[in-house]
């Protein structure tokens, strides 16, 4: 998986959770997807204007405002009620903004500021009761949502249960309490919504984490496969050339020097290939691989015959074909004892066939690194892969075929 596709997938997942947060209850600011991504806050619209969601929900505090305006309590309690209301609003909005910047909740440990804010919000509600009476119940949905999205799962349940019990007691035990029956219904409904919403958000975060771990694992496997293909092929060729040099040192010193120069070049290419593979930036064209395979096979006195042109394959197909050709060449050098290797290039098709000793029994189902690597690369490219005995009359070699 490329870095671009990982980043695009992560951004898409982040946006999906942000839109979900827009429809969540009052304090859904603490959801993972509701937080601003890392980077300059000023450049992210959600981080700059997301606090508006907190302000929109504050419209439900109109009931405590009306209660304070109509309150017949002593003036001191009314003043305390107004102060508590203002403090509640300020803490709620700043808490919203703090939550978007990583304040904790929903699987992450809440910060100390989160706990302090939660306690002060409750205190604001309690001191508002003398002046507002039953209208103070309108604060409970905000307290519930703060606990659900900004604290822990345990405190979600504690706060939800406490809010339902308090509201029910006020409705059924206090004189005139039935007038707040609608508030009890809203609290009960909000408890259900918060429970489901937070569960979904937590599961989404867990799924994203698993996806990240899977992508990391797949990336490591891809790098390991690339390194195997590069090192396995290069060392095989280097070994053959070293044997050739040993035979030529006395009889043909000049050719031995040329082969040593090739060994140096192959070693340097292998090192560079491993480095760029780890960096995720290496690519070998099919034309280059054909030339490399021809040179490698020539060192082992194996003739390479090519039917067709590399242009017969699309650029994307050619990348996969070059890797499979590399591995097929390595296998031919190591195991085939062939005299000739034929490569067929046709639209949507690559065939590599040799006239060597052929496959061992059951080799088509082999799980060796070489065959597994070719099979995996073909599968990733959406191509079919077959390794079988040669179809040439009288031949006993091996045939590798990839079709798109």
In this prediction, residue 343 carries a pLDDT of 92
Contacts 24+ apart (CB under 8 A), 331-337: 331/370, 331/371, 331/398, 332/297, 332/302, 332/356, 332/398, 333/236, 333/237, 333/240, 333/296, 333/297, 333/300, 333/302, 334/236, 336/397, 336/398
pTM to 2 decimals? 0.46
In this prediction, residue 145 carries a pLDDT of 82
In this prediction, residue 259 carries a pLDDT of 81
| Residues in the chain with pLDDT values less than 50 | 1-47, 279-283, 362-367
In this prediction, residue 244 carries a pLDDT of 81
In this prediction, residue 84 carries a pLDDT of 92
CA angle 335, 287, 351 (to 5 degrees): 45
CATH T-level assignment (fold) for domain 289-404: Heat Shock Protein 90 (3.30.565)
In this prediction, residue 4 carries a pLDDT of 45
pLDDT digits (tens, 9 = 90+) for 57-112: 777 788 888 889 888 889 999 999 999 999 998 888 888 777 767 666 666 788 88
Contacts for 154 with CB less than 8 Å, ≥ 6 apart: none
In this prediction, residue 225 carries a pLDDT of 63
In this prediction, residue 15 carries a pLDDT of 41
In this prediction, residue 393 carries a pLDDT of 52
Q: Where in the chain is the domain with CATH 3.30.565.10?
A: 289-404
């Amino acid at each position: 998986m490329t870095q671009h596709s990982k980043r695009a997938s992560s951004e898409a997942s982040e946006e999906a959770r942000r839109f979900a947060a827009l429809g969540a209850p009052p304090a859904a600011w603490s959801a993972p997807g509701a937080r601003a991504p890392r980077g300059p806050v000023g450049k992210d619209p959600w981080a700059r204007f997301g606090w508006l969601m907190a302000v929109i929900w504050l419209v439900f505090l109109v009931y405590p405002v009306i209660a304070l305006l109509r309150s017949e309590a002593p003036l001191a309690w009314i003043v305390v009620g107004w102060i508590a209301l203002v403090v509640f609003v300020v803490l709620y909005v700043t808490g919203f903004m703090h939550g978007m910047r990583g304040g904790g909740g929903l699987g992450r440990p809440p910060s100390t500021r989160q706990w302090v804010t939660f306690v002060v919000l409750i205190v604001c509600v309690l001191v508002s009761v003398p002046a507002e009476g039953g209208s103070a119940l309108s604060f409970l949905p905000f307290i519930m949502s703060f606990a659900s999205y900004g604290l822990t799962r345990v405190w979600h349940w504690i706060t939800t249960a406490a809010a339902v019990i308090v509201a029910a007691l006020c409705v059924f035990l206090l004189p005139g309490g039935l007038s707040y029956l609608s508030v009890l219904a809203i609290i009960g409904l909000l408890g259900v919504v918060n429970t489901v919403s937070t569960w979904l958000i937590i599961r989404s975060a867990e799924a994203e984490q698993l996806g990240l771990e899977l992508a990391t694992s797949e990336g490591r496997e891809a790098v390991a496969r690339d390194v195997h293909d590069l090192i396995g092929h290069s060392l095989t060729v280097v070994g053959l050339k070293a044997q050739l040099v040993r035979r030529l040192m006395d009889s043909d010193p000049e050719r031995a020097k040329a082969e040593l120069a090739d060994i140096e070049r192959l070693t340097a290419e292998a090192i560079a290939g491993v480095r760029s593979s780890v960096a995720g930036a290496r690519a070998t064209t099919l034309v280059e691989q054909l030339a490399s395979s021809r040179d490698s096979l020539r060192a082992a006195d194996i003739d390479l015959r090519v039917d067709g042109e590399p242009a017969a394959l699309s650029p994307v197909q050619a990348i996969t074909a070059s890797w499979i050709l590399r591995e097929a060449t390595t296998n031919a050098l190591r195991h085939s004892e062939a005299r000739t290797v034929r490569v067929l290039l046709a639209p949507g098709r690559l065939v590599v066939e040799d006239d060597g000793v052929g496959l061992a029994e059951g080799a088509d189902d082999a799980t060796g690194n070489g065959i597994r690597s070719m099979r995996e690369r073909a599968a990733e490219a959406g191509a079919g892969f077959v390794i079988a005995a040669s179809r040439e009359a009288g031949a006993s070699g091996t045939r590798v075929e990839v079709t798109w």
